A and B are shown apart, each in its own frame.
Chain A
Amino acid sequence: MTLRSAAPRSGRPTRLHSAVFQPIGDEGRAALVERRIAEAIMGGVLSAGERLPAEPELAAAFGVAPATAREALLVLRERGLIVTRRGRNGGSFVADSADPVQFATRALLDSSRVSLRDAGQHYVAITAACVDLAARRADPSEISSIRARLERVDDHDLAAWRRASDDAVIELAALSQSARLTREQMKLQGEFSPLLALIDTDATSRRASRDHLLDVLSAVGTADAEAATAALREGTRFMIDWLIAYRERHGAAITAPIATVPASPAPAASTRPERSRP
């Protein structure tokens, strides 16, 4: 490498300074469009059988050329995520085989414990910040309308329940009155939603996560920021523990790189090394 980053005049380059000159990758626009749609399909935002917007509409929505949209659709078709039908009622549709829970299961089994714990920490960092601000800023009426919407949903309809539950978290985040935090929360919720959908398939755990969410809402409704963030931490810990336990039960061994070393036993529920109390 002959390229040297100029040091700031004030002295040595700082860590942030060197971060400016990190590689940005050469992922093209078609790949970005493809990834956005693939994530939505794998996350269940777009579900099996749903029609995608027509090519020109898609191109306009993403702000890319029609040829770029076409290229992205081509790759999605090759990956088996969408199918294209010809004729008057034709167009591109999410493949009938696209099952977000299956995608989530595969992703979960491919994850390491450390990455799941880290994802949990990220979730807590953002969501707790939202919840803390919301507790200080929200009007009680705003919380009761989120609660009311959540309570109207029958949690036996798993898809409806997941959607309502994700919406409730985003609405709660928006009550922080912070646009940045809300955008972060939306990204995170999109990432976690398929994993949460996996937890939902177990009725007892679904009830438990529902109760955690209602606990957070109650605490925010009474402007108790401390109780709200504590409830949020507990809910997230429950979620990550559940996912790790699931992963251990369902063939984490398959993905272990060296099969000769016996898998270490799952950690007891009480050992949570990453959670130090402040």
Chain B
Amino acid sequence: MSIHPLTPASRTAAEHPVELVTEYFARAIDALADWREQLSTEIAAARADAPLTTDRLDELVEPSALRLFDTVDLPVYGSGFIAALDSLADANSHLAWWQGPERAQLVLASQSINKEHIDYSELEWYRVPFQTGQPHVAGPYVDYLCSDEYTITVAAPVHIDEVFVGAVALDLLIDRVERDLTPRLAAFGDDISIVNGVGRVLLSTSPARATGDTIRGDDLDAFERFACPGMALDVLIAR
């Protein structure tokens, strides 16, 4: 079990639930924004020497990926880089990924053994940063590839000379996000929910609203809806 620093008292001073939620996930987006600049330079330099291989990429990514666990004030469960498809010399896809209490490197059987098998081009944490060129808060979703848990992945695209080479990302387990945010949101009301782009409930201060359910259509009439700037999340507050 990793130990995370206590949230500074100043962080609880949000005046609106949207501020609180936005500030929380922006910590991930900001950290990834710094990292993607750095990694872009590192990958460009490595490529100037020789075609980039999975082993070389792992070496480049590992120190920063591991550092992210300690430097971001979030319960980071996994961290790493997802290479753009067909961007490496010796594999058509690769996740340079570290996760779990041990921060162990992820070894996907199908990845290390048959490099043809993993196609993550349509998964939200790859697809959206690739298509929009912007960071994205993806999920919640059951991550059957990496964590095997109900997960949020924050991902930011990495470009070299405006060409997409992959995405840096970090995973948060909903279990931990719920513990972090629910008590703080509860200070604002007893029926406040965070939902994603398809109306899926990430968490709610109302015990009656289950994480994973969707709120859509006519059901939305019962809420005031506030968009979180810079991320595809909305805060729904019961009228």
Q: A residues engaging B (CB < 8 A)? A: 40, 45-47, 50-53, 57, 60-61, 63, 133, 136-137, 139, 141-142, 145, 149, 163, 170, 173-174, 176-179, 182-183, 186
Contacts and interface: CB of A to CB of B under 8 A. Distances in A.
Interface in B76-119: 102, 104-105, 107, 109-110, 112-114, 117
Interface in B119-169: 122, 140-142, 144, 148-150
B70 interface: no
A136 B112 CA distance: 36
Given A60-B104, A163-B117, A179 B109 contact: no
B36 interface: no
Contact of B148 (A137, A145, A173, A179): A179
B213 A145 contact: no
Interface in B26-50: none
With a 10 A CB-CB cut-off, give which of B107, B113, B213 has the most chain A CB atoms: B113
Contacts of A177: 140-142, 150, 200, 211-213
Contacts of A63: 102, 104
Contacts, number: 66
Contacts of A145: 122
B214 interface: yes
Contacts of B211: 177
B111 to A, nearest CB: 10
A57 B114 contact: no
Nearest to B151: A179
Interface of B: 102, 104-105, 107, 109-110, 112-114, 117, 122, 140-142, 144, 148-150, 198-200, 211-214
B140 A139 contact: no
B144 A45 contact: no
B199 to A, nearest CB: 8
A139 B144 contact: no
Contacts of A47: 114
B213 A46 contact: no
A149 B122 contact: yes
A60 B107 contact: yes
B142 A179 contact: yes
A139 B107 contact: no
B214 A139 contact: yes
20 contacts: A46-B109, A46-B113, A53-B113, A57-B107, A60-B104, A61-B107, A63-B104, A133-B212, A136-B213, A137-B200, A137-B212, A137-B214, A142-B198, A145-B122, A149-B122, A174-B144, A177-B150, A177-B211, A177-B212, A183-B148
A182 B117 CA distance: 20
Contact of B198 (A45, A50, A60, A141): A141
Contacts of A182: 142, 144, 148
